[in-house]
Structure 1
């Protein structure tokens, strides 16, 4: 999925075509970009390109691409990611060997030359804040072990089609209530509730720019997107959390929530209106929760062993 990605899309596609593992389909969904993304993508005749007339978000664009794919595995890839040639091959070796693995990711660097990491999967804390493992750390080999992780970043994740089908609700793999950000946390939580394993493969290497995270570029992100970046945490809590564990961790959750509110009042008061999105989606989220919890297949303890740390 792309949106005004002309500066990155060519390099990203070049890295996909350079993969040592055979790629059956390459689908690019453009969410009504205003730059010359389309002009660049059309230089790659092997790519199936669709330009939308509206921006339906990261979530809608990727669901659209997944619906066009007819493969047993799907690589979801941000346009600002550059894959090393063996990225897909190394992950597929892991997934094929383990039948119950539904999703996997590799080691993503923010700056490969300086060895600054961006993500080695997703961790989740008891306050329900999901974070990228290793983000901002210098790579000294501390994440060089294949292991099970709570979730994978949607920046460069491979998902098994059987898992996609098993946790999709009303045709949506990524929940379109999310629009953008933290939809990968929701998918990971749903996958684990459904009994799927999720893996990190350190031999699979990629670089992910993730430029908007600094303060200057954040100001250039639309208010709608920034609202979703904040409130979507509440979405995945409502959908996936077990009441008993939510109550157990409630003091930690409330403390974190208060800290967020104080930040918004002082730094970004317009973000407070994000709660309107929560109330708008509340009924739909409750229905999705009912479906998810009904289809849950694993004991709660197996899920919450991944919830470590209070902040």
Structure 2
């Protein structure tokens, strides 16, 4: 790889998935020394398992508590930048990448230098040709977005590069000067929406974002979040609303408040219909806290 790319993988109690992720990254051509695993105080034996598999060649940062996705990634990013990384790739630990992954990313970097944040095509692990995420674009006049090609099949029909407004932290490649200009992730988000806030700040600073569909990865989809669905539901909804609350201007605020209220009611009805009443209370609390609670909460598990 002609550009020094470092990879950050955050782990919390998913040792088998993290090992598989690191193995796929290594098979795609990145040296172990450029893969940084940040462990969020796992209790499943992740740290000794990683040490046994990869030895001291794998940089492994251990947090004393679960600091969340944003803070853990920030620790890894700081390490990577200190080592001279020109690009930092964030990947979820429940993903695997294609053998040609870094080759495709490097091609996008070389051919489209104006883009400072790039994301791969992310497919479902259990449905390998179906698209999970390929970026989002803003709906004009609002802060709401639409996901591109979501749940469609990848039949080779995608353009080589797709400019977007937002990408997911599940897989995003960020150029060094973005961090140097706007800083790191806002740790107040803990997990969920931190990458949305980051992409917004990057775009406001003049950086451009795109997806490079030739770079492919497969996502097992929220393995850790599914262990605590009420908490995951609360954080996801609250943090999305916090983003709207922070950046809505003028009439956008009442518009987004009404939009999120209607959507939350619809989600609550769906939860009741699917016999998941435990998700209703955290959903409604998330709406209230997102709009009227502490705008900069701190959180730790």
TM-score (norm 2): 0.80
**Counterpart of 1:295?**
none
Matches within 5 A, 1:211-222: 211=222, 218=226, 220-221=227-228
Aligned 8 A contact 2:89 2:172 in 1:
yes
Q: Name the SS for the 1:105 alignment partner.
A: strand
TM-score (norm 1): 0.78
**Counterpart of 2:50?**
41
C-alpha distance in 2, partners of 1:114/1:47?
28
1:229 lines up with 2:236 in the alignment: yes
C-alpha distance in 2, partners of 1:22/1:33?
24
**Counterpart of 2:117?**
103
State the shift of 1:190 in Å.
Answer: 1.2
The counterpart of 1:91, out of the listed 105, 109, 117, is: 105
**Counterpart of 2:252?**
246
Count of paired positions = 273
1:22-53 per-position Cα deviation (integer Å, ceiling 9, x unaligned) = 67621111111111211221121221112212
State the shift of 1:97 in Å.
Answer: 3.8
Taking structure 1 as reference, are residues 32 and 14 closer, same or farther at Cα in structure 2, changes over 3 Å only? same
RMSD after superposition: 2.6
Aligned 8 A contact 1:82 1:207 in 2:
yes
1:42-85 per-position Cα deviation (integer Å, ceiling 9, x unaligned) = 12122111221210111111011111113111010111110112
- Structure 1: runs of 5+ lacking an equivalent: 286-311
Aligned 8 A contact 2:135 2:211 in 1:
yes
Aligned 8 A contact 2:192 2:240 in 1:
no
State the shift of 1:156 in Å.
Answer: 1.4
Q: Which moved more, 1:260-269 or 1:30-39?
A: 260-269
Q: Name the SS for the 2:228 alignment partner.
A: coil
Q: Name the SS for the 1:154 alignment partner.
A: coil
1:219-243 per-position Cα deviation (integer Å, ceiling 9, x unaligned) = x3254432110011122223334x2
State the shift of 1:5 in Å.
Answer: 1.1
1:155 lines up with 2:170 in the alignment: yes
The counterpart of 2:70, out of the listed 49, 55, 59, is: 59
Taking structure 1 as reference, are residues 175 and 262 closer, same or farther at Cα in structure 2, changes over 3 Å only? same
**Counterpart of 1:259?**
263
Taking structure 1 as reference, are residues 222 and 64 closer, same or farther at Cα in structure 2, changes over 3 Å only? farther
